[in-house]
Copies of this chain bind each other. A is one copy, B any other.
Amino acid sequence: MRATLMYEAGDVRVEDVPDSVIKEPTDALVRITASCICGSDLWPYGSMPAADDPVRMGHEFIGIVEDTGSEVSTVKRGDLVVAPFAISDNTCVFCREGLHTSCGNPHAGFWDGMPEEGGQAEATRVPLADGTLVKLPVAADSALMPSLLTLSDVFGTGHHAAVAGGVNQRTSVTVIGDGAVGLLGVLSARLLGAEQIILMGRHQARTDLGRDFGATDVVSARGAEGIEAVRDLTGGHGTHVVLECVGAMPAYEQAVGIVRPGGVISRVGVPQYEQAPVGFDSLFGRNIRLAGGPAPTRAYIEKLMPAILEGTIDPGRVFDATTDLGGVPAGYQDMADRKTLKVLVKS
């Protein structure tokens, strides 16, 4: 079968690999029908050292169950399923609290880092299939496929940012980043009732989509100028919640500058730093809270799916390009060049 491998920064190839097979009684084998390239895939695409072994790519996919291990009971051959970007048993103490990314099962973990499986491929083995996979009540050729695919990561991640930030009808919100997660952070903040949603981004096609999703204001300036612009829009105070959907240090610093005293910076962009300012002058003095982390998207799939099925929201609009598996390497480059926002891969 064919699958996507990253060899080093800038070098992504689709190659023949050994067929995925069932290994554990809790596994399912899934023939992938739709996957995509993630903004977080661009971090190693920009920095992976050549010395490392190639890694399998892809952690967002929909597919058809082809086979199941003896202990799998919630999905069966022929089911159309969506997989979140973290593998979990959905039964441990952390999963029951909705924190599937901290699942305590020894087979749990992230697709990224699994040695021989991944979503940008023809098929994959899915560990802990009962906990991980969620059945979709549509056909594989449904027009809703792009929106349903966002449940695996970007919609759930934007939603997690808003939930972890405590967004509600009484909070003003700034979203830093006009990538797919940022835009779906806007949509999530609107669904949670926020009235003022300021989107910080400088790519007009994206910020226009952000306005469609519910942004009330767009700030294209960055740094000190961007902070000033947000303060001007909020009576000088900043917003109650800042959704930091980038992960770079300048975005963090921007968040510190625009969050209101007593407010929350909710991070879902994977931090490209370990140390950051959190002392008296940045967070402590103003009682700013820091929240967020890898989104337990599994916890949100059943909650977010009905509005997609009803057609009242269309998060799949973040996909502005579609390719097949052979087009994945070019898809990476287009996303890195910001020619495309997010690439859907039809297998």
Residues A293 and B282 in contact, CB atoms below 8 Å apart? no
Residues A289 and B287 in contact, CB atoms below 8 Å apart? no
| Listed stretches A174-182, A212-220, A265-273, A316-324; interface member | A265-273
Given A99-B261, A262-B94; A284-B294 close (CB under 8 Å): yes
Mark contacts of A275-289 with chain B using CB atoms, 8 A cut-off: 1 yes-contact digit, 0 otherwise: 111111111111111
Residues A277 and B280 in contact, CB atoms below 8 Å apart? no
Tally A residues with Cβ within 8 Å of B: 36
Q: Does A292 contact B (CB under 8 A)?
A: yes
Residues A283 and B287 in contact, CB atoms below 8 Å apart? no
Residue among B270, B280, B296 making CB contact with A284, cutoff 8 Å: B270
Q: Give the residue among A101, A267, A284, A286 with the most B Cβ atoms within 10 A.
A: A284
Which B residues are CB-close (under 8 A) to A288? Answer: 293
Which B residues are CB-close (under 8 A) to A93? Answer: 237
Mark contacts of A282-306 with chain B using CB atoms, 8 A cut-off: 1 yes-contact digit, 0 otherwise: 1111111111111010000000000
Residues B289 and A279 in contact, CB atoms below 8 Å apart? no
Residues B267 and A271 in contact, CB atoms below 8 Å apart? no
Which B residues are CB-close (under 8 A) to A291? Answer: 287, 289-290
**How many angstroms from the CA of A93 to the CA of B99 in the assembled complex?**
34
Which B residues are CB-close (under 8 A) to A273? Answer: 279
With CB as the reference atom, state the residue of chain B lying closest to A272: B279
Q: Does A102 contact B (CB under 8 A)?
A: yes
Residues B289 and A290 in contact, CB atoms below 8 Å apart? yes
**How many angstroms from the CA of A173 to the CA of B275 in the assembled complex?**
25
User: How far in angstroms is the closest Cβ of chain B from A18?
Assistant: 30
Which B residues are CB-close (under 8 A) to A99? Answer: 261-262, 287
Q: Does A337 contact B (CB under 8 A)?
A: no
Which B residues are CB-close (under 8 A) to A282? Answer: 274
With CB as the reference atom, state the residue of chain B lying closest to A252: B278
Which B residues are CB-close (under 8 A) to A310? Answer: none
Residue among B270, B274, B284 making CB contact with A292, cutoff 8 Å: B284
Write 16 A-B pairs (CB below 8 A) sorted by A numbering.
Answer: A93-B237, A94-B261, A99-B287, A102-B287, A164-B287, A270-B280, A271-B280, A274-B282, A276-B276, A276-B278, A284-B293, A286-B293, A287-B293, A287-B294, A287-B296, A288-B293
